[in-house]
Every structure is written in C-alpha cells, then in structure tokens.
Amino acid sequence: MIRKEEIKHIKYYEQLKEKFNYELNDTIDFYLYDKVVKLLYEFKSQIRIPHIDNAQDLIKYSLEFEKNSISLFLDIQGRLLGNLNDVYNNVYKIISNIIEEERRHEKMFSDLVLK
C-alpha cells in the first residue's frame, strides 16, 4: 500500500514540475523568493536520518516529516499573501494544491500508525 502511494506521490510532483515548465508565468518578488529559499534551506538542513527498528518507527517518522512539510508549505503560502487578490495567483494555487496533496499523504501515514 505504501509503495503504491509513494509512486503516486512521485508522479504528482513530476506532473507538477512539467506544469511549472509550461504554464507558470507569474513572477515572485525577489525579497519573497529569498525568504522562501531560506525557509527551504532551513527545512532541508533539519532533516535527519532516524534510527528505525521496525515498520512503525518508519511510519511515525514519515508522518512527522509530512506534518513538517505541511507547516513549511503553509508558511510559504502565508508569505505569498500580499493582499486578498493573491489567492488567485497561480503560485498560490499551486502551493494550495501541494498542501492538499501533502495532507492526503499525511492521512495515509496517520491511518497506519498503531494506536
């Protein structure tokens, strides 16, 4: 089940990348871009390889990673909002879709955690 879901997750991001290459014409303020790059760098630098003893440890780690990813994207999305019209911006819409995808992925891991 996880393998199948991860393959779908990868395909989602590959399709999103293709869409970026052909459809995204919106510009982002350089200051905002710089802030987002900093957030991404900080997020990446905090990723640690955990000690995994069993499948539940891996699922719990994956769930925590998904939650942190969602927080990152929500932070980025919030910074994109200069005014109410920005919710119609393509970059904002794409990040909204990414958040939705990550929440779906988070739910999958959450459902697999033994209680």
Indicate the number of domains in the chain.
1
What's the whole-model pTM score? 0.83
Structure tokens at 111: 């459902």
pLDDT digits (tens, 9 = 90+) for 31-48: 888 989 999 999 999 999
Q: What is the pLDDT of residues 88-109, one digit of tens each?
A: 777 888 889 999 999 999 999 9
72 within 8 A of 44, measured Cβ to Cβ: no
Q: Which domain holds residue 99?
A: 2-112
Query: From start to end of the chain, where are the E strands?
Result: none
* Cα separation values, 2 from 31, 59, 60, 62, Å: 38, 10, 13, 11
Read off the pLDDT band of 19 (50, 70, 90): confident
